[in-house]
Structure 1
Amino acid sequence: MPPEKRTPINKGPVARKPAAKKTVTRKSTSGRKKKAVLSVQLKLVIAGLLLILLSPFYYGYVLQGFVATWSWVRDWGQDPNYRTYESFNIRIPKKYTVHGIDVSYYQGKINWQKVKEMKEDEVSIRFAFIKATEGLMLVDPYFQRNWREAPKAGIICGAYHFFRPKKDGKTQAKFFLQVVNIEKGDLPPVVDIESLDGVSPLKMRAELSDFLNYIEMKTKVRPIVYTGLKFYDDYLAGYFDDYPLWIAHYYQPKLRMDKSRWKFWQHSDKAKINGIGHVVDFNAFNGDSLALDRLLVH
């Protein structure tokens, strides 16, 4: 074959074109490597953050910060009328001057003289509500002792009945008065209503009304109704407004209810009281000493 015909067949220059493609391929690989390096670095950063977050030292640091913040809020919070009383181990609303407790068998044998002598600044125990009965048959095993010993120590007392809506209200009232002898100088009797016990609100209110009417008829004293704030809002509001209210609403600087509508506020269930071996409910009276005296049985 002649040489001039062989030259076109020689595709040497064409063979160099793939080399350019190889160069592009190397650049693409280099980009992927950079992305891979960045991905590894990002993963390392994330892993490092996770290690910090999961570290007990980190949580210890956060906890210390939380405790420090809570201490500041507790002692230097925005509401100056709600402060911690170390001896009682609770926060107490400062604007109330008459304070008291309520007790049952749960507190065991109480040294009432020590209760009376306890005081921090202007706070001391002036009154006590004492559980007497529950339902149709249960008498609190410490009632008689508490009812006898607390007045001896100079503490004003009132007795309460734990109400069971499934039971006949009038019969419960008779049972309560068989156990409790209400005398001059006592706080009015109390009915403690906290749950529906499986009955309808209508049925509960009917039995409760029978209880209250019978107690008032026999003692000539209008009873106090004790309940939690939510239970009152859900089931009692607008039905028993003529009765003095004792409302449970815990760990707040203010009771979220019109002040003209309640007499007693159970604001804590964790107070420590001298002479009592278990934590105790703590209460504030909505008024001064003269107002408390006017509320007593005469």
Structure 2
Amino acid sequence: MRAVSSLVAAAIAAVTLVGCGGGHPHGIPSRFDDADPYAWRQNAPDTYPVHGIDVSRWQGAIDWHRVAGSGVGFAFIKATEGGDVADPLFDNHWRGAAAAGIPAGAYHFYYHCRGGAEQARWFLENAPPRAGTLPPVLDIEWTQSRNCPRRPDPETVRAEAQAFLDTVRLAWGKTPIIYTTVDFWEQNQLWRLGNYPFWLRSVAGHPHDTFGHRNWTFWQYTGTGLVPGVRGQVDLNAFAGSEAAWQAWLAAATL
């Protein structure tokens, strides 16, 4: 009887855990997986209900309907980098996400060897304003490119980032999102840019711990996620709020 009771108790516990949205040993939503998981002990990503991916040419062809069926709630898609590189799969990914009903936004990967306004014009040439989309994104971090090893001083970084943001906001009529990493955030004091929606990369700790309790809108919690419909690894991200908060944010952001 004790053995049977133990089995019943274990089954009830498992059902309860799944019902609460847990059940994954890696602390991420059980509908996904991670090729190189972090041992989340508290404030794990699966405490948030809305998750999405960000993609570029490196993910190759994507089965967006499978992605949508896996529970992905949003996608950020790379459009451009620097002042002269366009992602060759941007249009394919954009159309695929739209056909699958996944809210999507375009992002630009910033290089520190060109001015912010120039890069904004290149981004707008390849990702012109579109109705009903997520806001555009400035991905600004230190690059590892041999062609652009520059690391300007913080004042220059912020001034050029502001030039990009102002140019894109004027064209899109939306406040852009800023994506960045912990080291770049700290070294360039990006909080001084003002009250932008921030998308923060923190793969070994909750953003409130690694970014000093900064308010955030999106959290990139792993770069080695596994999602049905995507071959290989992909970044996974969480939205900072409930399902109801997401629907309210989405309605306002996609006007």
What CA distance in whole angstroms lies between the structure 2 residues aligned with 1:156 and 1:238?
Answer: 27
User: Displacement, 1:261?
Assistant: 1.5
1:212 maps to: 165
Is the contact between residue 247 and residue 266 of structure 1 (CA under 8 Å) also seen in structure 2? yes
What CA distance in whole angstroms lies between the structure 2 residues aligned with 1:171 and 1:254?
Answer: 31
Q: Does residue 293 in structure 1 map to residue 250 in structure 2?
A: yes
After superposition, residues 182-261 of structure 1 pair within 5 angstroms as: 182-195=129-142, 197-252=150-205, 255-256=208-209, 257=211, 261=215
SS of the residue aligned with 2:122? helix
Structure 1 234/140 Cα, relative in aligned 2: closer, same or farther at 3 Å?
same
Q: Does residue 275 in structure 1 map to residue 229 in structure 2?
A: yes
After superposition, residues 137-148 of structure 1 pair within 5 angstroms as: 137-148=84-95
What CA distance in whole angstroms lies between the structure 2 residues aligned with 1:291 and 1:234?
Answer: 33
1:95 maps to: 47
Q: How many residues align?
A: 215
Is the contact between residue 188 and residue 221 of structure 1 (CA under 8 Å) also seen in structure 2? yes
User: Displacement, 1:198?
Assistant: 2.7
Structure 1 87/297 Cα, relative in aligned 2: closer, same or farther at 3 Å?
closer
SS of the residue aligned with 1:261? coil
User: Please, what TM-score do these two structures have when normalized by structure 1?
Assistant: 0.67
SS of the residue aligned with 1:238? helix
What CA distance in whole angstroms lies between the structure 1 residues aligned with 2:30 and 2:134?
Answer: 29
Structure 1 109/223 Cα, relative in aligned 2: closer, same or farther at 3 Å?
same
Higher relative contact order (CA 8 A, sep 6+): 2
SS of the residue aligned with 2:73? strand
1:169-220 Cα shifts (integer Å, max 9, x gaps) = 1111111111113322211000000117332222221111110111111111
1:113-144 Cα shifts (integer Å, max 9, x gaps) = 111111xxxxx201000000001110001101
What CA distance in whole angstroms lies between the structure 1 residues aligned with 2:166 and 2:28?
Answer: 40
SS of the residue aligned with 2:180? strand
Identical residues among aligned pairs (%): 36
2:123 maps to: 176
1:211-256 Cα shifts (integer Å, max 9, x gaps) = 0111111111110000012211221343112211000000435642
Structure 1: gaps of 5 or more residues: 1-74, 119-123
Say what the alpha-carbon RMSD is for the aligned residues.
Answer: 2.3
Is the contact between residue 157 and residue 186 of structure 1 (CA under 8 Å) also seen in structure 2? yes
1:113 maps to: 65
Structure 1 169/260 Cα, relative in aligned 2: closer, same or farther at 3 Å?
closer
Is the contact between residue 103 and residue 128 of structure 1 (CA under 8 Å) also seen in structure 2? yes
Is the contact between residue 99 and residue 125 of structure 1 (CA under 8 Å) also seen in structure 2? yes
User: Displacement, 1:84?
Assistant: 4.9
Of 200-209 and 129-138, the range deviating more from structure 2: 200-209
Q: Which residue identity is paired with 1:230?
A: D
Q: Which residue identity is paired with 2:67?
A: V
1:266 maps to: 220
What CA distance in whole angstroms lies between the structure 2 residues aligned with 1:244 and 1:254?
Answer: 14
What CA distance in whole angstroms lies between the structure 1 residues aligned with 2:215 and 2:29?
Answer: 27
Name which one, 1 or 2, has greater alpha-carbon Rg: 1
**Over 6 Å off, 4+ runs:** none
Structure 2: gaps of 5 or more residues: 1-16, 38-43, 144-149
User: Please, what TM-score do these two structures have when normalized by structure 2?
Assistant: 0.77
What CA distance in whole angstroms lies between the structure 1 residues aligned with 2:213 and 2:103?
Answer: 23
What CA distance in whole angstroms lies between the structure 1 residues aligned with 2:164 and 2:95?
Answer: 25
